[in-house]
Amino acid sequence: MDKIVVHGGHPVSGAVRISGSKNSALPILAATLLTKEPCVIHRVPDLSDVHYMLQILNRLGADVERASGVVTVRAEMVETIAPYDIVRKMRASVCVLGPLLGREKEATVSLPGGCVIGDRPIDLHLKGFEALGAAVRVHAGNVKVFAPELKGAKISLKGKFGTTVLGTDNVLMASVLADGVTVIEDAACEPEVVDLANFLNKMGARIEGAGTSRIVVEGVKELHSAEHEVIPDRIEAGTFLIAGAIAGREVTVTRARYDHLTAVTSALEACGFNIVGTNGAVTIRPNGSLHSLSLRTEPYPGFPTDMQAQMCALLATAKGDSMITENIFPQRFMHVSELKRMGAAIELDGATANIRGVNALSGAPVMASDLRASAALVLAGLQAEGQTEINRVYHIDRGYELIDEKLCSLGAQIERVKV
């Protein structure tokens, strides 16, 4: 098991290239199961979550080839059971349910694992499958869905805490081969859903409205091969912009989509930073002192829950009082206790973190609890006085491709240590 050691106080500057989106790549790879013909996916990030997904595809019978960020999948024959020994490692593995149900009219998948950030049920996924005509059975830790045929239906995916991105992906993939028209109301509007829909349309699906709350799918008989490039990872881009805000002189993220980052860039501008961007590169520059801020996480295009922990790290040293309310995963504050070990003054009130800015953080041994908490602790270490040791960093390898090497290329003093 590795740990990351950050030596604080070293400014960062320069340009860093953003990888393909994890949250796009995973469902797109799952969608290759919908056809017997080969599919070629470009800009697939080198992440542990992606490795697990490729293992799942292989266990389901697909031939998988990978070279330099390009993955080719040929699923001529597929199994319909995804076993626990692989599925337990990654929550997003549940997204093979939709394509297996769509193609084979049945699927059995173990209930997924993943980050410990609160309750993340898949009830909306199953509700969508039932609306398409599938029967659902949950027994002994497994979910089984099956149907003699799938028929188009009107489906609402509105949940307690808003829309479901993975649920939208799953129902979308199941519906493309259903008989008739499916209307998905209260669909997630995230760019990753749009990316999946664009890939499915390249395969011959007929999908309209992706990126809005109402998606219309006209079912087709079969899909065919397609080639696709995954969109840039907006969460990785946002994380490096915050690295620039915390310790930067001037940092540019390249191969990034500025239009996907407006909630993050608006928050950083409100904190006093100058942002300049195009749909190719975004630059952050210091612009005086760091201001406090109040914000709420919301479904896209609101401020993303996946950036909440990183903003906590930034605002820990902002002048005045800040407040972050978590509306997506109200329990997603595991990083707060670790930031407090570094001297942050943060108090939780239900789903709200009240942050009183301190003059400086101090390095300390800390423990990563989940993917985005890991990134927040690395960011905090950049500005902390002394040395910060982040343990259990296997979490960060789930969603950030070579984050330590990329930060080093900007001038940060970071090392990965085997323990």
| Helix ranges (DSSP H) in 88-147 | 97-104, 123-131
The helix or strand, by DSSP H or E, that contains position 374, with its residue range, turns out to be helix 371-383
Query: Which positions are catalytic?
Result: 115
The helix or strand, by DSSP H or E, that contains position 13, with its residue range, turns out to be strand 12-17
CB 216 within 8 A of CB 208: yes
* Alpha-carbon separation of residue 217 from 58, 150, 175, 181, 319 (angstroms): 28, 13, 7, 6, 49
* Alpha-carbon separation of residue 324 from 42, 160, 275, 309 (angstroms): 36, 19, 22, 10
**DSSP string across 255-311:** S--GGG-HHHHHHHHHTT-EEEE-SSEEEEE--SSPBP-EEEB-STTSB-GGGHHHH
Q: Which residues are bridge partners to 297 per DSSP? A: 303
- Closest C-alpha among 18, 53, 78, 42 to residue 169: 53
The dihedral of CA 69, 111, 235, 198: what is its sign?
Answer: positive
